[in-house]
Amino acid sequence: MKPLLEISHLDKQIGTLHLQDISFTLEPGYIFGLIGRNGAGKTSLIRTIMNLYRKDSGNVIVNGCPMDTMEREAKDQIGFVLDEFLFEEKLSIAANGKLFGATYTAYDHELFLRFCSRFGLNPKQKTGKLSKGQKARFQLAFALSHQAKLFIMDEPAAGLDPLFRRELTGYMQELVENGTRSILFSTHLTSDLDQIGDYIALIDEGRFCFCMDMESLQERFVLVKGTEQEISALHSPHILATVHEPYGSTALAEYPDESLISGLDVSRPTLAELLFYLQKGRCIS
């Protein structure tokens, strides 16, 4: 099956940030999560993929359409929810739908209004007066109204109340369910990603530390718990970090040999734990 997104050797210098040699592909039917600390380059990468920042080198291809030579066709297939509000704040929700909808081949205004109603939005309200969460809902309604194949979302759940946040993860799963659409999204909410992510990339200082499917990630890293003595005795290049706390010690190990960890308490880290221990081990800044 043709990938919905193909990124190869993407490079971009933005101020002091250098997005460096970013490559990945996203097939239809999957959710790809992008994580990383504040300032790691998530928003910059998303903006570069969408050609809001012009890349220095590399390629972005959306459902077979190269961003360089078929930008309109490529953007036609992208539904976005961004941190920065790109719509006309002086106009109403409905007027924004019509205005920006005209730039998409398959925009359906009736469908947009139905989504607005489903998300509790009044189409007559000016977008400039919307709260952060309402702006996210508006963008989502619009993204869902022009038959986009690839959904790109920059921290879509930031500023959303817990109820709608839960609904949002439900919509995201619904979107990819029939195997024809995909989602690339950035988030700090690793628990959401633990639940719905199929692929995950960790970005740090503009580079991918890893980019892999969730299953491989779970095979790659383990947490090993024991007494301070037991954990201190683990000398191996497979040990990425050790943390000693009053109530016990923990090591993060990568592809550990069975012999190294036998007899110890071994578990799979959550994403939050993985980030914590990678940082402790100075694998990420």
Ligand X SMILES: Nc1ncnc2c1ncn2[C@@H]1O[C@H](COP(=O)(O)OP(=O)(O)OP(=O)(O)O)[C@@H](O)[C@H]1O
Which residues sit at the interface with ligand X, rule CB under 6 A? 14-17, 36, 38-44
Cα within 13 Å of Cα(194), Cβ side: 12
CA distances from 240 to 234, 254, 275 (A): 11, 7, 12
The DSSP H or E segment spanning 176 is helix 162-177
Least distance in angstroms from the C-beta of 83 to ligand X: 7
We find the least distance from the C-beta atom of residue 35 to ligand X, in angstroms, to be 9
In angstroms, the CA 121 to CA 113 distance is 9
* Nearest residue (CB) to ligand X, 76 versus 204: 204
Torsion of CA 256, 259, 262, 266, to 10 degrees: 0
Comparison of 28 and 156: residue with beta carbon closer to ligand X: 156
CA 35 to chain centre: 6
Q: How far is the CB of 189 from ligand X (least distance, A)?
A: 11
What stretches of 19-161 show up as alpha helix (H) in DSSP?
Answer: 42-49, 71-76, 93-101, 109-118, 132-143
Nearest approach, Cβ of residue 184 and ligand X (Å): 13
Minimum CB separation of residue 127 from ligand X in Å reads 22
Residue 91 token pair: 């106009």
DSSP symbol at 91 = S
Nearer to ligand X by Cβ, of 39 and 58: the residue is 39
SS3 61: strand
User: Which one, 16 or 229, has the nearer CB to ligand X?
Assistant: 16
Whose Cβ is closer to ligand X: residue 76's or residue 154's? 154
Q: Which is nearer to ligand X, 41 or 226 (CB)?
A: 41
Q: Closer to ligand X at the Cβ: 103 or 285?
A: 285
For the CB of residue 48, give the shortest distance to ligand X in the complex, in Å: 9
Min dist CB 119 to ligand X, Å, is 24
Provide the minimum distance between the beta carbon of 253 and ligand X in the complex, in angstroms, as a whole number: 27
Q: Which is nearer to ligand X, 10 or 222 (CB)?
A: 10
Q: How far apart are the first and last CA of the chain?
A: 37
Label each residue of 21-58 as H, E or C: EEEEEECCCCEEEEECCCCCCHHHHHHHHCCCCCCCEE
Q: Which residues, other chains included, contact 272 with Cβ-Cβ below 8 Å and sequence gap of 6+?
A: 190, 191
